[in-house]
Amino acid sequence: MKKILILSGNRLAPAQTGGQVRSVSIARALARMGHEVQIFSIAGRKEDYRAAHLLRAETKHVDIEPRLSEDTHLGMILGLVQAIVRRLKFPRVWQYWFLRRGMIPRRLAAALDSADIVMSDLPYCPPVPGACRGKPWFLISHNLEHKLLEQGGIRERQFAAWMRAVESAAPQTYTDIFACAEEDQAFFRAHDTSNKLAIPMIRCGVDPANYTATDDVRPRTRRELGLLDEDWVFLFSGSGFAPNVEAFGEIREFCRLEAAFLLQSRVHILVAGSVSSSSYREGSLIVTGRVPDVLPYFAAADAGLNMVTRGSGSNVKLFEYLAAKLPVISTSFGVRGTELKAAQDYLPCTRETLRDVIAKVTVQSHRYWREHAEAVWARHRSSSDIYALVGDAVGKLPVFQTESTAILPG
């Protein structure tokens, strides 16, 4: 058994974004292999600081499951810096500067001291100076951060070149790097001048058990949404990540322009998650806002929709759709980082062809598409199940090996 510390810039559990889903899933997989896994997050969420002020607590400890816990630092200095930076819409460069200079909470110093292996969640959390620097230290890459900064606002773009330099140096900074897609894997390999890293792939897989609902969930959720058995529901799930917000805008405009077609076809577009700050209904468009559990909406849906056209890395929602046994409708950009093949595994579409694709889906039966999705999942489970992905990746790295690395029951 290894003691593994995952260093994160923000609280990860419960997950609220696709990136957090992936990070927590990786942590769960390592814990279920028998490792003792601690997540240490150097900043919390708004509600954490309110609770910490009332309780006069500097750290929030949560036991997620056996062998897996998360400690979130809630000191007011770092919390205030984070609040100011967020308000000014700057990227999280402050975390990099603090950690790189060894300006860390004492509890983090203790956690680093006791860890056998350290993993940085994103390059904003670099190795810190001191004795712990000699330990095996890995980077969990979720995308190429400099690519996202290049696509951001004016404040984000000014840090893109700096982040590119940070990511270019990553092969010399870390013991190894876990890539999420071919794009970041190729980038890090190109900058591995000594050719010493394995750079194994951990795609944005998910825990299939989290997307398996009991038989009563689908009819109950559809009744709550005012939907009948014969209605078609196309789900778009996402956080307030800018590419998701842009895709949601496209979906909303499509629903406005094609209102008559959607009504006649008995089609509803269901948008779930913090991609919208509020819940509302506009004709065939149903928007939930942030929800405590996405599973009921996956169960209620007949297909997963991804209209994202920019970003970096890959979209966790694609793997969620697969695990939920939903047929996938996506832009060609949206399936990057997966092994899905157009026509065979997913229905390709653009904003201009979405109406035609919806018509193609609804001409078949619900049963037809359920069987199609089952077959796609059977083909791609090994590249979509996070436990299989993590097991394969760490299996390439001797430092993670224990007497038994089999996945243990949750």
What are the percentages of helix, strand and coil residues in the chain, rounded to 5? 45, 20, 40
Q: Cα(175)–Cα(198) distance, rounded to whole angstroms?
A: 10
* pLDDT tens-digit series, residues 7-32: 999 999 999 888 999 999 999 999 99
Pairing of strands 59-65, 68-73: antiparallel
For the cut 90, the answer to whether the pLDDT of residue 393 exceeds it is yes
For the cut 90, the answer to whether the pLDDT of residue 354 exceeds it is yes
Residue ranges of domains in the chain: 3-206+386-400, 208-383
For the cut 90, the answer to whether the pLDDT of residue 50 exceeds it is no
The structure tokens 């951990």 sit at: 202
Nearest of 292, 293, 287, 283 to residue 275 by alpha carbon: 287
Mean per-residue pLDDT, 85-94: 90
Give the C-alpha distances (Å, rounded to integers) separating 82 from 49, 99, 161, 287, 290: 12, 14, 22, 30, 22
* pLDDT tens-digit series, residues 63-79: 999 999 999 999 988 88
27: number of Cβ within 10 Å: 29
Task: Give the model's pLDDT for residue 55.
Answer: 63
* pLDDT tens-digit series, residues 151-180: 988 999 999 999 999 999 999 999 999 999
Amino acid at site 333: F
With cut-offs at 50, 70 and 90, classify the pLDDT of residue 402: low
222: number of Cβ within 10 Å: 19
Q: Cα(60)–Cα(31) distance, rounded to whole angstroms?
A: 20
Higher pLDDT, 88 or 304: 304
For the cut 60, the answer to whether the pLDDT of residue 406 exceeds it is no
274: number of Cβ within 10 Å: 17
Q: Cα(308)–Cα(333) distance, rounded to whole angstroms?
A: 7
* pLDDT tens-digit series, residues 231-267: 999 999 999 989 999 999 999 999 999 999 999 999 9
Nearest of 379, 214, 373 to residue 303 by alpha carbon: 373
87-91: long-range contacts, CB 8 A cutoff, minimum separation 24: 88/155, 89/153, 89/155, 89/156, 90/155, 90/156, 90/159, 91/124, 91/149, 91/152, 91/155, 91/156, 91/159, 91/163
Q: Is the Cβ–Cβ distance between 153 and 89 less than 8 Å?
A: yes
Same fold, 3-206+386-400 and 208-383: yes
For the cut 90, the answer to whether the pLDDT of residue 403 exceeds it is no
Task: Give the model's pLDDT for residue 409.
Answer: 44
For the cut 80, the answer to whether the pLDDT of residue 57 exceeds it is no
Amino acid at site 13: A
Higher pLDDT, 27 or 410: 27
Q: Cα(16)–Cα(25) distance, rounded to whole angstroms?
A: 13
For the cut 50, the answer to whether the pLDDT of residue 130 exceeds it is yes
DSSP code of 385?
B
Task: Give the model's pLDDT for residue 51.
Answer: 73
Task: Give the model's pLDDT for residue 53.
Answer: 64
* pLDDT tens-digit series, residues 180-196: 999 999 999 999 999 99
Mean per-residue pLDDT, 210-225: 95
Task: Give the model's pLDDT for residue 86.
Answer: 87
Q: Cα(82)–Cα(92) distance, rounded to whole angstroms?
A: 8
Mean per-residue pLDDT, 51-73: 87
With cut-offs at 50, 70 and 90, classify the pLDDT of residue 44: very high
Mean pLDDT value across the chain: 93
Q: What percent of the chain has pLDDT over 70?
A: 97
Q: Cα(204)–Cα(385) distance, rounded to whole angstroms?
A: 9
Superfamily of chain region 3-206+386-400? Glycogen Phosphorylase B; (3.40.50.2000)
Report cis status (omega within 30 of 0) of the bond before 129.
Answer: no
The domain made up of 208-383 has a fold known as Rossmann fold (3.40.50)
For the cut 90, the answer to whether the pLDDT of residue 312 exceeds it is no
